[in-house]
Each structure stands twice: as C-alpha cells, then as structure tokens.
Structure 1
Amino acid sequence: MLIAFDSTQQALRAEMLLEYAEVDIDICPTPKEITAGCALSIHFPEEDMDTVQHVIVAEKVEIRGIYRPVLSGYEQVQMGEG
C-alpha cells in the first residue's frame, strides 16, 4: 500500500507519526502513475491499513490518497476500506 501527499511537510509528519505507531514503513519516490504535489510517498503493509487510517484521521494528516498496487499501476483506496 502507498500513501501519496501534496506536500513534503505532510509526508515527513506522517513518517514520524506512523513510526511512532510502530507501522513498518518505507519512504519512496511517488510513482509516476500517481499525480501528487510531493515527490515522496510512504509504502506500508496492507495489514496495517486500519492503524494507518486511524493515525491519518486522528492527527489530521493531509494526504493525496492511499493507493493499492494493481496490474495497470495503482488504484486509489477509499478511506475505511481495508
């Protein structure tokens, strides 16, 4: 799973919050298939989706979206899906 952002500040804030929540994350370049205002994205395991969504909502992190890899690239996941 991948979180895309509109700002580097929000990406770095999410990184700190997710690490504090003990989610296994990786910072990576935003894939070209995803149009975002920020070059940084965060990869995380799908099984951590509930924790990630809770942190994003509780801490009011501004994101472009959460995406799932598919054969054609990425599809956006609606908040609440898991």
Structure 2
Amino acid sequence: MTTYWTNFAKYSNPNPPTPDDYDAYINIEWKPYTLEEPFYMDIDKKLSLKQNLFKDRMKFWDQLYVEAAIAHSSLR
C-alpha cells in the first residue's frame, strides 16, 4: 500500500512506473476514477479494484440535488 501512495506522490499515478515493477504485493492496476467508470481500490487482506462505491447513497444525494435545484428555480 505504501508503494501506491509513494508512486502517487512521485508520479501523480499510484501504479508502478513499468509493468516490470509489479510484484506480489502490487499486482493490480489502480485505474483512475471517472464519471463513466467510477473505480476505487478496495483495501482489504487482498487488494481488488471495484466500481460504484456507495452507489445507492450517491443516487439518493444526486436525486436530492435535482429536486432542490427544481425547487430553487421555481422560487424565482
């Protein structure tokens, strides 16, 4: 895990600079988060790359934001 953070600080990318630098501990590519592909690293006994952390919670807040914006615009 320290290698990921160190690489991020040095290179703005948590992954090892070359595929040859991967080892038994750093064996998965940490892909960037985007709106289209919301990746995150699940840090557990074994690292795994997953998508849509707290999807249901985020859906709630997204919907609340839309409703609040509609309510706000109707007050004008």
More strand by share: 1
Give the structure with higher Rg (CA): 2
More helix by share: 2
TM-score, normalised to structure 1's length? 0.28
TM-score, normalised to structure 2's length? 0.29
Q: Taking CA–CA contacts closer than 8 Å with sequence separation of 6 or more, which of the two structures ends up with the larger relative contact order? A: 1
